Structure 1
Amino acid sequence: MPQKVGFFGGTFDPPHLGHLSLAIHATGQMNLDRLLWVLTPISPFKNQTHANLEQRIQMVKLTIEGQPVSEYCSIDVERDPPYYTCDTACLIKQTLSPDDKLYFLLGADSLTGLPKWYHATELVHEYLDGLIVARRPGTPLDLTKLNEQMPGIGQKISFVDMPCIDISSRDIRKKSKSGKSTKKYMPPPVYQFINEFNLYI
């Protein structure tokens, strides 16, 4: 039976409740059979990470513990850089059955910049059956302009309704470094892991 498979990628440095909320709401609203958390060793747009790779893998696994549809995906960890989403989607597609559908999860802020991504048209129209987009507070979204830049993309977009969790991994790192509590932004096991290994201080 064909499956609806979603994936989203990131350095997850650290993973937080915003990631988890998107995963849960996208899974429910889009009726996904599987959701792959693709850990990227280092983003093409960043030159460093803060927690090491093994620590981030462990934090992702702690985040999705008990989530029946979510699973950690090592497809980027097992290949050489650069880690472009187009290449990741191509590799994931090769692991699926021909009738399976592949969806990419992203935030509205990332969607706005999508036309500038590496092989963006190929990503959207050859490898993906849809884009699942979460709106971020304060992020304007001009679908008309997006359609002009990438004709046909509007037909592939589905928006996820989810509670507003206005936090990012960068915010968590900054708060942690300045001594502010970040407990409310992460699943308890992740928060405990960060404290245990004195990360982001």
Structure 2
Amino acid sequence: MLEILRDRFRARAQESLTRAGLALPWWVPVSSTFLSVVFAVIAVVQRDALAPPQPVALGGLLVIATPLAWVITGWVVPWARVAALIAAAAVLLVEPALPDFAPLLLLVAATEAGSVLRTTWGIALVTFAAEAVLLVAGIWGGLIGGPVYMVAVLLGLSGGLMTAGTPGCWPPNAETATPPVTRPCSPNASASRVRCTTSSAIRSASPCCT
């Protein structure tokens, strides 16, 4: 029974990623989501915002909003996910703690942005927003260790960008992807067409697949 549920979950997650245009292994977003939920729960507990519920607990709800949306709809929206993480960190950092787990949500957001967003300006916008939240929290909110968190965000972004360009993990951004090399059809065109029916990669790269 557990194996059946696991296989269904894995298939649904992989289908959602494929629909969103993300060639990620299913366990990558699952792991990232799990970490962000753990960070959010710890951050809310640090602020004693669970019992009785405090307004700052909204930050925790924002983190679990996108996973719940996926459970209901089956859709993965990278922009919504990253925006929710940044908004959650901003809400939680209204009341900084020491040590504080809330800035780690920005680290996750920057890493995900570097690995899944396809535009340079989008990645830059996410990075700027994350750093701005930390800067404001450090100057007006009393966050301790703001510069360390800001460097951590940049390191997370670097990790996401490097992973995005690693062959075999998931494709690089569209701007830097190497176009497939096409070759003339072989004399045995019928055999080529047979192979085309079983491989989407061959079908997209070969002029024989018509």
Whether TM-score is above 0.5 comes out as no
Taking structure 1 as the reference length, the TM-score comes to: 0.29
Which structure has greater helix proportion? 2
TM-score, normalized by length of structure 2?
A: 0.28
| Structure possessing the higher radius of gyration over alpha carbons | 2
Higher RCO structure, 1 or 2 (CA under 8 Å, sep 6+): 1
The structure richer in strand per residue is 1
